[in-house]
Amino acid sequence: MRRIYPVLILCLTGLDFSSAQSVRLYGVIGWELTFPSAVRNNGTLMYGTTVICSIRDKKRITYLSNNLKDRLQWNSNTGFFSITRLEQPDAGVYKVIYEGGSVMYNLTIVNMHPQISVLNGTERDTITFSTKVKKGNLKYGTETIVDVQNDNITVSNQRFTGRVKWDSSTGFFSITGLKKEDSGVYIVQNDDEEQQQPDHIYQLSVTGGAALPALSLEDSDPSHL
């Protein structure tokens, strides 16, 4: 089974979920999609204004959706809800309510794109988008974050300043110093008419890295202090 891991794009919607962070998800028909908000003991998953799954004391699980029957799951180890065998009618606005907060997800369902890749990165590492570009741009969702013209790059998103790179020898974009909030959908667009290369969609999920080792004065060499 093909899986889609957290795909996060911060966005605004007109729905009245003012207390919830708004996140856009992209799902592919036939794949599995996970909502990356953990419900550890108590919480709910809503579709629009309707509760479709309720978790109580990590034991009492009540599924309330006929449309998602046998496809909606909750993983007690991760706390994540997921939908298997995605269908076009699954698109819409979902809301995960957990102890201490809530997150709203706007799910769009697409057919399998011929140029789509799933990338997994770790915080503080570097990820490379292996689509060659000599003239074009890299988008985060619908927003252009870096543009390449005549071997010159222009970074237009302050959040990526100093971290988004373009290698003139390979034509690849990359992002250094990954952060969890870098997760999301990226689109590499090639504007070079000679190459006639289609856009390539990347779904990036960034997870936490290993903790940095703590400095212990007891283990330090006094001569270096």
Mean per-residue pLDDT, 149-161 = 91
Sorted by sequence, the CB contacts under 8 Å of residue 4 that are 6+ apart come out as: 25, 26, 27, 28, 31, 32, 33, 34, 118, 203
pLDDT surpasses 80 at 32:
yes
Please indicate, yes or no, whether the overall pTM of this predicted structure exceeds 0.85. Answer: no
Rounded alpha-carbon distances, angstroms, from residue 89 to 73, 176, 197: 17, 37, 31
**pLDDT higher for 142 or 50?**
50
The reported pLDDT for the residue numbered 44 is: 94
**Burial (CB count <10 Å: 0-12, 13-18, 19+), residue 7:** buried
The reported pLDDT for the residue numbered 83 is: 93
Per-residue pLDDT of 61-111, as tens digits, reads: 888 877 887 899 999 888 999 999 999 999 999 999 999 899 998 888 877
Sorted by sequence, the CB contacts under 8 Å of residue 141 that are 6+ apart come out as: 9, 11, 24, 184, 185, 187
The reported pLDDT for the residue numbered 113 is: 59
pLDDT surpasses 60 at 211:
no
The reported pLDDT for the residue numbered 145 is: 93
Per-residue pLDDT of 157-208, as tens digits, reads: 888 999 999 999 999 999 999 998 898 889 898 887 666 667 788 889 898 7
The reported pLDDT for the residue numbered 112 is: 62
Position 17 confidence tier, pLDDT thresholds 50, 70, 90: very low
The reported pLDDT for the residue numbered 14 is: 31
Domains and CATH numbers, the chain: 3-110 (2.60.40.10), 116-207 (2.60.40.10)
The reported pLDDT for the residue numbered 64 is: 80
Per-residue pLDDT of 47-58, as tens digits, reads: 999 999 999 998
The token pair at 211 is: 């903790």
